[in-house]
């Protein structure tokens, strides 16, 4: 704009100069004057352009300086943080989600083929300050929940966590039990196979959570541990007439924070060691009485104890894991007498183990293909307490399942899965599964 004004002023002066020239001045003299003024005008124009360039360059430098100063000011303000650029500051509230959708076709009963939105989970974690946060996860199973549908809506986790010291944390609320490998890391992107493995479903009732308090610690030598006091199981829920207990003994009597009977509390402890890169060795134990002082109930002396040992080794593109878990329910004699004649009394012992190997066969920047094979053996009723002659139920044989399949990863958060499962005892269960899952 300045340039335009100046140009106009100069043009005006040229005109005035021309008009003011003596009438008797020769044409040549006039032309000379005009040319001189024109030359001066060009020189001024050039100077203006040069000045303009300089101004722009200074403005740019000032802008860079302003950004730098702003970022340093921000870092001074957050004097306790090293959060200054490139990532700015930590988000206070994080929304997360995972979900899995599957298609399952039994080999010998195609009429039972099913597609299911197995899980849709929404999570919110909010950090109040550097020491306190809350974690909440809400889950829908099987798509629709209503009086006439089979779906389920549940609070999967709801706890507050407080940091006491470096790596030492206390939490209270509804949280996942640190038993096995799948229970605390159960997103579809974290495990192989369309469906979760049987051992950590039938024996360890993933996703298993209890209400209570717990402490967690982690040390520089690679050892981390958990210990806590929580609600336990409610044996009075056992339904000897149904097959639920045979499918997952603890899954059929868990309470999940739903008006949980809390007369009998349980304790748990877990230790994991990750001292060698790629290797995890760990174990956990949980024990608590399960009668909950229920009225007119003959199982009030019963105690549920569950333990597991697990290992995972991930050298290079291999992913190898093994887990063994065993559980017992003590003092079930009197209770099982009341179940005489029914198909599913309370087992006194049940166990399972698996071996799994996976290998990342192919990958590029955005995709990876990892075939895997898993062999598992489990028995949800390996033993019953002694019953009078003729009233007992024979012990079931252990089921052995082979799973062959592959996970195909799309980036970090999406996985496509396919597998084939063969059952040794009950081959009618043989099935082919397809699935898609995500997690963020």
User: Using CB under 8 A as the criterion, which residues of the chain lie in contact with another protein when the complex forms?
Assistant: 64-65, 67-69, 71-73, 75-76, 78-87, 89-91, 94, 96, 125, 127, 130-131, 135, 161, 163, 165-167, 169, 171, 181, 184-185, 190, 216, 218, 220-222, 224, 272, 274-280, 312, 314-317, 319, 321, 360, 365, 412
Nearer to another protein, 33 or 360 (CB): 360
Compute CA distances 142 → 102, 115, 415, whole Å.
10, 10, 19
Nearer to another protein, 80 or 146 (CB): 80
Give me the least distance between CB of 224 and another protein, in Å please.
6
Nearer to another protein, 175 or 378 (CB): 175
Give me the least distance between CB of 261 and another protein, in Å please.
28
Nearer to another protein, 163 or 247 (CB): 163
Give me the least distance between CB of 365 and another protein, in Å please.
6
Nearer to another protein, 39 or 95 (CB): 95
Give me the least distance between CB of 390 and another protein, in Å please.
49
Nearer to another protein, 162 or 383 (CB): 162
Nearer to another protein, 66 or 115 (CB): 66
Give me the least distance between CB of 13 and another protein, in Å please.
46
| Cα dihedral: 73, 74, 78, 83 (round 10) | -130
Name 10's Cβ contacts closer than 8 Å, sequence gap at least 6.
37, 40, 41, 44
Give me the least distance between CB of 136 and another protein, in Å please.
12
Give me the least distance between CB of 215 and another protein, in Å please.
13
Give me the least distance between CB of 121 and another protein, in Å please.
14
Nearer to another protein, 76 or 111 (CB): 76
Measure the CA–CA gap between 203 and 211, rounded to whole angstroms. 20
Nearer to another protein, 181 or 211 (CB): 181
Give me the least distance between CB of 88 and another protein, in Å please.
9
């Amino acid at each position: 704009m300045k340039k335009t004004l100046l140009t106009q002023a100069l043009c005006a002066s040229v005109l005035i100069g021309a008009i003011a020239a003596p009438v008797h001045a020769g044409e040549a003299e006039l032309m000379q004057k005009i040319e001189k003024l024109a030359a001066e005008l060009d020189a001024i124009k050039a100077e203006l352009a040069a000045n303009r360039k300089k101004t722009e360059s200074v403005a740019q430098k000032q802008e860079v300086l302003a950004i730098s100063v702003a970022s340093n000011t921000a870092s001074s303000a957050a004097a306790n943080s090293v959060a200054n650029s490139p990532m700015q500051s930590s988000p206070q509230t994080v929304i997360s989600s995972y979900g899995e959708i599957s298609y399952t076709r039994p080999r010998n009963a195609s009429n039972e083929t099913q597609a299911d939105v197995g899980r849709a989970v929404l999570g919110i974690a909010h950090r109040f300050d550097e020491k306190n946060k809350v974690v909440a996860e809400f889950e829908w199973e099987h798509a629709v929940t209503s009086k006439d549908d089979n779906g389920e809506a549940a609070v999967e986790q709801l706890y507050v966590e407080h940091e006491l010291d470096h790596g030492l944390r206390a939490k209270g609320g509804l949280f996942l039990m640190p038993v096995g490998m799948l229970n605390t890391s159960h997103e579809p992107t974290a495990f192989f196979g369309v469906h979760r493995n049987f051992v950590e479903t039938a024996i360890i009732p993933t996703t298993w959570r209890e209400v209570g308090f717990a402490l967690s610690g982690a040390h520089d030598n690679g050892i981390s541990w958990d210990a806590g006091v929580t609600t336990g199981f409610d044996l009075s829920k056992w339904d000897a007439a149904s097959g639920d207990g045979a499918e997952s003994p603890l899954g059929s009597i868990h309470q999940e924070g739903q008006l949980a009977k809390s007369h009998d509390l349980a304790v748990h402890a877990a230790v994991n060691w990750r001292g060698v890169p790629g290797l995890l060795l760990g174990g956990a134990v949980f024990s608590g009485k399960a009668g909950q002082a229920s009225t007119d109930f003959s199982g009030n002396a019963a105690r549920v104890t569950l333990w597991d040992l697990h290992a995972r080794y991930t050298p290079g593109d291999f992913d190898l894991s093994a887990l063994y878990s065993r559980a017992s329910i003590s003092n079930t004699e009197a209770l099982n007498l009341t179940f005489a004649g029914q198909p599913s009394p309370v087992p006194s012992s049940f166990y399972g183990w698996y071996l799994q190997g996976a290998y990342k066969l192919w990958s590029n920047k955005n995709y990876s293909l990892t075939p895997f094979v898993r062999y598992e053996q489990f028995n949800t009723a390996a033993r019953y307490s002694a019953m009078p002659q003729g009233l007992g139920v024979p012990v079931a044989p252990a089921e052995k399942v082979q799973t062959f399949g592959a996970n195909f990863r799309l980036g970090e958060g999406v996985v496509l899965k396919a597998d084939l499962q063969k059952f040794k005892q009950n081959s009618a269960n043989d099935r082919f599964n397809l699935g898609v899952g995500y997690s963020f």
